[in-house]
Amino acid sequence: MSQANIVCKPTGDTFVRFGIVIAALVGFALYFFYDGHTGYRQKNEVMCSFKAFAQMGQRAAEYTAEGWASSLQGKPLIVTEQQEGELMAVDGDHRYPLPADCEAARSCPPEVLDHAAMSASWNDCWAAYSHRMHFPIKPGEHPYDLGAIREQWIAGVLFLMLGGVLIYFVVRTSGRVLALEGSQITAAGRTFDVADIERIDLRQWGPGFKGVAYFTVKGAKVRVDGMTYGGFNKDKGEPAEMFMQAVLNQYKGDIVEYEIPEKGDSVG
């Protein structure tokens, strides 16, 4: 770089920061999509199965072994119906989506059919069933209806859209530079002459601050982002600071700088 021709390109750290945020947004979107497609239905299956075990455990003592087997013959663990193309668990007036391959919607598991075990402790039967099915032994706090599932899809789409917005800014940033070529400045997608600057605000400039300055050019503020373009890495010669000093060497107008109050001075 020479003092007469300084070009500051986006720093690698800038794209790393963008990448981390984009990855987080996409990760959250995938998490929401998973819950909307699979997760909430699986949680409903666990909760409805647990509730069915509890209800049957309270009834088991009222039956003989033969009567118990007869009362459950051909019946599923979870009562279901089809609604809006979904397999839904029926819980009074409420309906909760279940996985399409929900085993409990087809038949009662052997743990429930064991009358002696259910009469003695339905909790132990549930523990055995949940272990076999790889369910958490403790269900969630509440089931999820179709509205909650739609919310997950909406949230996933919104997070993907935010990721898309950031990708746009990545592309825009990668195509821009902060440059001084002779007396011509390129910043924030604009090109103007040093002589066009009416005021320079350096109160947020420098590595200890935000690395941002504002040039007032023909009544409009132009953001100069030294942290994004060039940076303040001493090993690389602090390109952003080099740019600013080269501009200040040509500029003769008003400059606003951050001032540290002396001891005893009031602030604000």
DSSP strands (E only) in 194-239? 197-201, 212-217, 220-225
Contacts of residue 210, defined as CB under 8 A and 6 or more positions apart, other chains included, come to 204, 227
pTM for this predicted structure? 0.81
Predicted local confidence at residue 244, as pLDDT: 96
The number of helices, as runs of H, and strands, as runs of E, in the chain is 8, 11
Q: 258 in helix, strand or coil?
A: coil
Domain ranges of the chain: 16-155, 176-256
230-237 contacts, C-beta under 8 A, 24 or more apart? 230/8, 230/9, 230/11, 230/178, 231/8, 231/11, 231/13, 232/206, 232/207, 233/11, 237/1
Predicted local confidence at residue 268, as pLDDT: 42
Predicted local confidence at residue 43, as pLDDT: 96
Beta bridge partners of 200: 215, 255
How do residues 198-214 score in pLDDT, each as one tens digit? 999 999 997 678 899 99
Distance CA 165, CA 29 (A): 14
Beta bridge partners of 185: 180, 192
What DSSP letter does each residue of 98-165 carry, written as one string?
--TT-GGGT---HHHH-HHHHHH-HHHHHHHHHHHHT--SS--SS---HHHHHHHHHHHHHHHHHHHH
Rg from Cα positions in the chain = 33
Predicted local confidence at residue 201, as pLDDT: 96
- pLDDT tens over the chain, length 268 residues: 445 689 999 999 999 999 999 999 999 999 999 999 999 999 999 999 999 999 999 999 899 999 999 999 999 999 999 988 899 999 999 999 999 999 999 999 999 999 999 999 999 999 999 999 999 999 988 999 999 999 999 999 999 999 999 999 999 999 999 999 999 999 999 999 999 999 999 999 976 788 999 999 999 999 999 999 999 999 999 999 999 999 999 999 999 987 655 555 544 4
**Which pairing describes strands 212-217 and 190-193: parallel, antiparallel, or unpaired?**
unpaired
How do residues 213-244 score in pLDDT, each as one tens digit? 999 999 999 999 999 999 999 999 999 999 99
Distance CA 81, CA 131 (A): 27
Contacts of residue 8, defined as CB under 8 A and 6 or more positions apart, other chains included, come to 177, 178, 179, 226, 229, 230, 231, 239, 240, 243
Predicted local confidence at residue 157, as pLDDT: 98
